[in-house]
């Protein structure tokens, strides 16, 4: 059986020991410094010691006391009913601080870690805006199709029985149904920059009639090279508009976007650190051993109940998924070579606990909100520390604990 011994930032030996044999050696802090890593945010190499961090015990953390309950917000009763039906009573910090400003029509910059409830922070007040004025049209721009679909799924939970329309416009799916839905003039359009631009060039989407825009995970859109598409799309909107901007990081480039797109925004930051305090982070040094065998040993342990494994390449992810399936694990993969329907089916099976292991490229590092992911395993080291942060943000969500392991050669 594997024995868990997570290291802290103070260093020390840690790792998982296989049954009846030597455990894969874990990097000590000193070794990590000398090794470095490929890539790095801002041109810097990754310090592997940043992959080791003992989770903060929840009892020692300051308890957040919200200023509001959802029932206190000045929103319509039908919306309050749907919020209550989802079991929501107290807002998260970003919801508690942002919703009042959005309701007042103020531009908002929200800086928050992933998994902190940003989606509801803008959906709830914007649905209320549409209930008050059915002519309102709202654009939500996001970096990935997975995030777009996640937002639409959450939208329908809040907008149930309200006769408010929404359409998701993303690549990898047939464009014709999206165009047909757009011709019905839905109140909400959720999409990725590339597909939105494509549809606009077909003269199906006229953004001059949209009074509100949400830029969600703007830092990721910047990282993915969407800056020109974003500027093109925003340039077609009315200069006087309501703009909401959410990001996990605040770089010089992000500040420039804020200056270009927003008007005297309210700044709200509830970010407590690069990574969630609820995530135990550690490394496993493979020592030249077969990585698949090491992963196999981990996945046989009962605590590895719902595991997201990240690889670097589409081919590598697919091959690893097939190898795990051959070894008897319930596994699926998500990567850019898969059709949209297959990706949705894989994600659905993971959400419903029908599969134990989802193997993914970084396309899945953002926008996937799956409950109770027990572990994130970086089978391949991420290219940048930013990618690392967003990968491990898939566990330890909504106040729950999680574990992240990174394989090191």
Q: What is the pLDDT of residues 299-338, one digit of tens each?
A: 999 999 999 999 999 999 999 999 999 999 999 999 888 8
pLDDT reading at 85 higher than 90:
yes
- Taking the mean position of all CA atoms in its chain, how far away is CA 63? 24
Q: Average pLDDT of 209-213?
A: 95
Same domain for 168 and 256, yes or no, is yes
* Distance between CA atoms of residues 233 and 200, nearest Å: 8
Residue 272 has pLDDT above 70, yes or no: no
Please give the residue that has the higher pLDDT: either 290 or 59: 290
Widest CA span in the chain: 67
Residue 320 has a CB neighbour count (10 Å cut-off) of: 21
Domain that holds residue 332: 29-59+277-408
- Whether residue 329 sits in one domain with residue 289: yes
The SS3 of residue 188 is strand
pLDDT surpasses 70 at 274: no
Q: Are 154 and 45 part of one and the same domain?
A: no
CA angle 226, 39, 316 (to 5 degrees): 85
Which of 128-142, 278-292, 366-380 has the highest average model confidence (pLDDT)? 128-142
Band (275; pLDDT cuts 50, 70, 90): low
pLDDT of residue 58: 36
Q: Do 206 and 98 have their domain in common?
A: yes
Q: Indicate if the pLDDT at residue 6 is higher than 60.
A: no
* Residue 97 phi, psi (nearest 5): -90, -30
Structure confidence at residue 46 (pLDDT): 64
- pLDDT, residue 53, reads 66
- At residue 110 the predicted structure's pLDDT band, cuts being 50, 70 and 90, is very high
Are the C-beta atoms of 6 and 14 separated by less than 8 Å?
yes
Would you give the DSSP letter of residue 172? T
Say what the pLDDT of residue 148 is.
94
- Classify burial at 361, counting beta carbons within 10 Å of its beta carbon; exposed 0-12, middle 13-18, buried 19 or more: buried
Domain boundary among 242, 269, 296: 269
Does this model's pTM top 0.85? My answer is no
Asked if residue 18 belongs to a domain, the reply is no
If you average pLDDT over residues 177-200, what whole number do you get? 96
Residues 39 and 89 both lie in one domain: no
Within 10 angstroms of residue 47's Cβ, the number of other Cβ atoms is 15
Query: Is the pLDDT confidence value at 245 over 70?
Result: yes
Q: Which residue has the higher pLDDT, 6 or 367?
A: 367
Together in a domain, 289 and 191: no
65's CB contacts (< 8 A; 6+ apart) are none
188 or 66: which leads in pLDDT: 188
Residues 225 and 254 in one domain: yes
Question: pLDDT confidence of 409, banded at 50, 70, 90?
Answer: confident
Q: What is the average per-residue pLDDT within 283-294?
A: 90
pLDDT of residue 31: 32
Query: What CATH number does the domain containing 187 carry?
Result: 3.40.50.300
Confirm whether 21 is domain-assigned.
no
**Per-residue confidence (pLDDT) for residue 186, from 0 to 100:** 96
For residue 178, give the H/E element and its range: helix 175-182
Residues 6+ apart with CB under 8 A from 143: 192, 193, 217, 220, 221, 223, 224, 226, 366, 367
**Cα-Cα-Cα-Cα dihedral of 59, 61, 63, 64, to 10°?**
-150
- The whole-chain average pLDDT of the chain stands at 83
Lowest-pLDDT choice from 152-161, 250-259, 265-274 = 265-274
- Position 137 scores a pLDDT of 97
Q: What is the pLDDT of residue 79?
A: 97
pLDDT(39) > 50: no
Verify that 211 and 290 share a domain, yes or no.
Answer: no
Q: Render 259-316 in DSSP notation, one character per residue.
A: HHH-SSPEEEE---SSS-TTEEEEEEE-TTS-HHHHHHHHHTSTT--SEEEE-SSHHH
Domains held by the chain: number = 2
Confidence of residue 399 (pLDDT cuts 50, 70, 90): low
């Amino acid at each position: 059986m594997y024995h868990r011994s997570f290291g802290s930032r103070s260093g020390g030996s840690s790792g998982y020991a296989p049954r009846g044999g030597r455990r894969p050696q874990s990097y000590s802090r000193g070794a990590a410094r000398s090794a470095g890593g490929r890539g790095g945010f801002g041109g810097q190499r990754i310090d592997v010691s940043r992959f080791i961090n003992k989770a903060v015990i929840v009892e020692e953390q300051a308890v957040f006391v919200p200023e509001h309950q959802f029932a206190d917000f000045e929103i319509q009763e039908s919306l309050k009913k749907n919020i209550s039906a989802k079991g929501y009573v107290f807002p998260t910090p970003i919801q508690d601080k942002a919703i009042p400003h959005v309701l007042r029509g103020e531009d908002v910059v929200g800086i928050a870690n992933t998994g902190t409830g940003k989606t509801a922070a803008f959906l709830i007040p914007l649905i209320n805006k549409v209930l008050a004025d059915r002519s309102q049209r709202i654009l939500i721009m996001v970096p990935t199709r997975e995030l777009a679909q996640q937002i639409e799924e959450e939208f329908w939970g809040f907008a149930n029985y309200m006769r408010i329309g929404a359409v998701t416009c993303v690549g990898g799916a047939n464009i014709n149904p999206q165009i047909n839905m757009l011709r019905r003039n839905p109140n909400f359009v959720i999409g990725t920059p590339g597909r939105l631009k494509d549809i606009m060039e077909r003269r199906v989407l006229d953004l001059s009639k949209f009074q509100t825009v949400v830029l969600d995970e703007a830092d990721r859109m910047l990282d993915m090279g969407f800056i020109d598409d974003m500027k093109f799309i925003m340039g077609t909107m009315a200069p006087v508009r309501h703009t909401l901007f959410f990001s996990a990081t605040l770089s010089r480039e992000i500040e420039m976007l804020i200056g270009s797109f927003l008007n005297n925004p309210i700044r709200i930051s509830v970010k407590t650190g690069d990574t969630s305090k609820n995530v135990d982070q550690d490394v496993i040094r493979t020592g030249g051993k077969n990585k698949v065998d090491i992963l196999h040993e981990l996945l046989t342990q009962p605590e590895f109940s719902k595991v997201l494994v990240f690889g670097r390449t589409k081919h590598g992810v697919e091959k690893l998924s097939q190898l795990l399936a051959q070894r008897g694990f319930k596994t699926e993969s998500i990567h850019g070579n898969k059709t949209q329907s297959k990706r949705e089916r894989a994600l659905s099976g993971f959400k419903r606990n029908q599969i134990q292991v989802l193997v993914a490229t970084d396309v899945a590092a953002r926008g996937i909100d799956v409950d109770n992911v027990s572990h994130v395993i970086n089978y391949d080291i991420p290219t940048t520390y930013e990618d690392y942060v967003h990968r491990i943000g898939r566990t330890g969500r909504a106040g729950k604990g999680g574990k992240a392991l990174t394989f090191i050669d």
